[in-house]
Structures are given as structure tokens and as C-alpha cells.
Structure 1
Amino acid sequence: MEPDDHIMRGPGERRVAEAAERIVTEGRPRLHRTWTSLVATSLLGGIDVGVGVMALLFVRHETGSELLAGLAFSVGLIALLLGHSELFTEGFLVPVATVVAGAAGWLDLARMWATVLVMNLVGGWVFMWLVMQAYPDLHRTAAAAGAKFVEGGYTLGTFCLAVLGGGVITLMTRMHHGTDSMTAKITASIATAFVLAGFGLWHSVLDSLIAFAGLHTGMTSYGYLDWLRWLAWAVLGNIVGGLLLTTALRLIRSAQVLSDGSAQAPDSR
């Protein structure tokens, strides 16, 4: 950023510029990680979300409340934040902004998205198997919860639930980058979990883990092919919500900073 630009900008504009610069600074190493680092971080992301799903199922089983269960799921998002692991839908704002700034390529982005999604699901599948073996009392709750998503249908309404899910989780990423306060970041994670899981929004990884829990019980009326079809619908909606509802508008607002980053990108690798 040029010194004169910093003087001419108001406090709000400076905060937007600083957040954009922070996003690109973080995104560059994320998109250029080794395969080993990317796979390990993504597996941990699936496990961390699994901890939240375990808490969600317990609270839903004990209370029958969707809202309290959503609040309990915040354990998973806090684990992601403090454990520095990777969740698929957290890969919209930061990596896309980094590519737009010229600090990485579109193939780097595709590599990251595919690896994170697959490894999130693998880590979550294993973790939910452990949970279902350890807590057989949760089987009926898990089977019913999984069926709610996988058998929810492919309608405009369910697609909108997936769009909202992608937008909400990407908003959380932006809130995390808008402050240096860990207390504020944790608050954003709790609020996001409450809205995402408590309101029944569709999220490709979170709800896949719930579906896996049901599948591990052997009590479901759906199978893995049904889940794969549902996953494709949820991923599409999450991407639309994450990119259009949240990322695109913030990229427009930060266009000048990202353009500056693009000019500096060759020297910063």
C-alpha cells in the first residue's frame, strides 16, 4: 500500500484494506503448501468438525432441541479456529482473493479445494465410526438426523439452504480476518455454528458427517449413493453461496488493494 493512499483513506477504508492485505498474506502459503501438509491439515479439519457433530448429536439426543444442538456444534468451529485445521468451505474467501491478487494460480485453488473436501470427508467418516461404536444410544438420533439431509430432496428450497450455508460459513472467515481479537473470533465461531447447525442450513462437510453417523448405525433408509447425490447438490449450493453471497462483494470492495497485491505478487513468492 502506498503511504499517500493510507493518508487519503478513512478509518473504515483502512480497516478494509488491512483485512484484504491480511487475507492475501495468509492465502499465499495456504495455496502453496506441500501435499503432505495439505492432506494432514484437511484430515484434522474433518476430525475437528466431527467433535462438533458428536456434541450436536448428544445435545439433540438429550434435549430434542435443534437450537441447543446447533450451539453445541460450536465446539467444532472453535476447534478449527484454535487448531488451525482446514474446512472445505473456509477455502472460498481467502484462497480466491489470493488468486485474484495474482499470488497463486487457479490450478492451485482447484488442488486445494479437491484435496480439502476429500480429506475432510475421510477424516470425518473415520471419526464418526468411532463415535457410533462408542455411543450406541445415539444411533436412532444419528439415523434420523442423517435422513433429514440426504432425503431432503432436490428443490429450490434445499438449494437455497445450501447457498445460505456456504454464505454463512464464508462470512465467519471474513469476520475472523476483520479482527485481531481471539475473543471476537471465538464469538464469531459460536454465532456461526448456532445459525448453521441450529437453523438446519445445508453444509457439505458438517451434514455429511451427520449422514455418515447414520450410515454407521446400519439403521438408515439411504445409502452411500444417495449421500453422493446429496453431496453434489450441497457442494454446488455451498460454492454459489460462498462465492457470490460473501466473497464476490468483498472482493469488489477490496479491488484496489488486491490489484496492488497483484502487482507485487512476483516479488513475494
Structure 2
Amino acid sequence: MANRVPPRFGRWERRAKRTSWTGGRCATSGRALDRARAARDLAGQSRGRAASPGAPRPVLAATGLLGGFHVTLGLLALVVTTGALAEAVPAPTAHVLGSLTFGIGFVFLTVGRSELFTENFLIPVAAVLSGHAAKRSVARLWVITFGLNLAGIALFVVLASIPGVLEPEALQAAGELADTLAERDLPAGAASAVLGGAVITVFTWLAEAAESDLTRLSSSPLPSASSCWPPA
């Protein structure tokens, strides 16, 4: 079923069409028409996601669980690559090169249409502010996605922790990465979280603005920048 444009956006569009395209009023009517179309496009983007704020709970749960799996695949690629390179290059260089593979997880997120909690801020909040989604629906989206992301990550970690699944070098790289995160003080951790969230928001906006999956995939390595800190 086609999305119904709220009356206020239709009013802007009708007002723009009625305005005489003469003199200074031309620019005003053009801006009004652009405003109406932008609002309608924004609603279409927020509703066109695999798990929009109004999606059924089973859809939110399934895409959230898969999102946890997918992002952990990126982390797995990071530690495996870092561990494999640690014997050949200095540790900081190995970590930076390994971090470049973290974007693999976002390739799966993009192609599989799964949901990551940190992605669900810009578009849902914009939908609420424009009147296309209820606050309760966005809160439900956040709670279910966050919980199922954690469940997917935990399940993946349990499987990867079974002896023999990962090479010792990968386990050592994972331990060093965990120590780096745990030893950060509060200001550094908060600043890193803000910067990482900003990168994810840029990725989300680029993925929503792209018109093809190929274009979306080209922006998938961008989140790797948020994981390129050197090990302690």
C-alpha cells in the first residue's frame, strides 16, 4: 500500500503550486515545494527499511539478531587479520590493517537488510520529528533491536570461543583489543563513542541516500575508521 502523505505536507505542495511564479515569490514557492517533497521522501526512507519503527515484533527480533551476527563477523575478520599479520609487521600496523576488514560486517548488514542499534537513530528520530512515527514505536524499535543485537553477539562469541575454532594468534589479538578498550578512562571512552557514533550515522545517511546496493556497498568500509585505534 502506498504511503499516505500527511495533510500538512500536501498543504505545502498545494500552496507552492498556487503561488504565482513571478518576481520574488518564485523562490518562495520553490522552497515550499522542495520542503514538501523532502518531507515525503524522508518518510519513505524511514518506512522503507527492513525494520522501521512500526514493523512487527518478529521482524524487529529477526533483523536485530542477524544484525548482531553480522557486525560480529566484522569483528572476527578484524582479530583474525590482525593476528595473522602480527608476526610479519609491527603490532600497530597489523591492527590498522586488520581494522580495514571490519567493514565486512557492514557489507552483510547492507545486503542482508539486518538492523544494528547504532544505525537506528538518524532516520527514526527524523521520522518522529516530521510526524511520521510515534515516540513509542521508536522506543520499541530501540529496545528490541538493542536486546537482540546483544543476543546475536553473545551467541556468536560463545561459538567462536569453543577451543579450536580460532587460531591462537586471533585469540591473542582479541585479548589485546579487549584490554585496550577496558583500560581507557571515561573521557577517552566517551569521546571514542561519540566519534564512532558519528561515523555510523554518516554511513547510515549514505546508505539511505544511495540508489543501488552497489553504491551502498561502496560506503561499507567507512565504519572501519571507527575501529582504527592502535593497541595499548
Q: Does 1:152 align with 2:184?
A: yes
Spell out the pairing of 1:198-213 with structure 2 (5 A cutoff): 198-199=228-229
Q: TM-score, normalised to structure 1's length?
A: 0.65
1:168 alignment counterpart = 199
- Cα distance in 1 for partners of 2:40, 2:137 equals 24
Cα distance in 2, alignment partners of residues 13 and 153 from structure 1: 44
The one-letter code sitting in structure 1 at the alignment partner of 2:173 is T
Query: Corresponding residue for 1:44?
Result: 66
Q: Does 1:110 align with 2:110?
A: no
- CA shift digits 1:148-175 (9 cap, x unpaired): 11221212x3211111111110111111
1:35 is aligned to 57
- 2:223 aligned to 193, 200, 216, which one? 193
User: Which structure's CA Rg is the greater one?
Assistant: 2
Q: How much does 1:92 deviate? A: 0.3
1:91 to partner: Cα distance:
0.5
Native 8 Å contact 1:44 1:123 kept in 2? yes
Q: The residue matched to 1:81 in structure 2 has which SS? A: helix
Three-state SS of the structure 2 residue aligned to 1:31 is: coil
Partner Cα distance (2:128, 2:229) in 1? 32
State the partner residue of 2:172.
Answer: 140
CA distance, structure 1, for counterparts of residue 51 and residue 81 of structure 2: 38
Q: Unpaired segments of 5 or more residues in structure 2?
A: 1-8, 18-26, 87-93
Deviation at 1:198, TM superposition (A): 2.2
| Secondary structure of the structure 2 residue equivalent to 1:30 | coil
- Calculate percent identity across the aligned residue pairs: 29
Larger RCO (CA under 8 A, 6+ residues apart): 1
Instruction: Give the whole-Å Cα distance in 2 for the aligned partners of 1:60 and 1:51.
Output: 14
SS of structure 2 residue aligned to 1:189? coil
CA contact (8 A) 2:46 2:52 kept: no
Q: What is the CA–CA distance in structure 2 between the aligned matches of 1:29 and 1:42, rounded to whole Å?
A: 9
Q: Distance in 2 between matches of 1:189 and 1:14?
A: 30
| Structure 1 residue runs without a partner (length 5+) | 201-269
Q: Residue 96 of structure 1 is aligned with which of 112, 118, 125?
A: 125
Deviations 1:33-54 (A, max 9, x none): 2222211110100001111111
Cα distance in structure 1, aligned partners of 2:72 and 2:225: 18
State the shift of 1:26 in Å.
2.6
How many equivalent pairs are there?
197
Question: Which residue identity lines up with residue 224 of structure 2 in the other structure?
Answer: F
Match of 1:144, as an amino acid?
E
Change (3 A) 1:128 1:146: same
SS in 1 for 2:196: helix
1:10-25 alignment, distance < 5 Å: 20-25=42-47
Amino acid at match of 2:215: A
- Contact kept, 8 Å, 1:50 with 1:76, in 2: the verdict is yes
Q: Please, what TM-score do these two structures have when normalized by structure 2?
A: 0.75
For residues 140 and 29 of structure 1, what CA distance do their matches in structure 2 show? 36
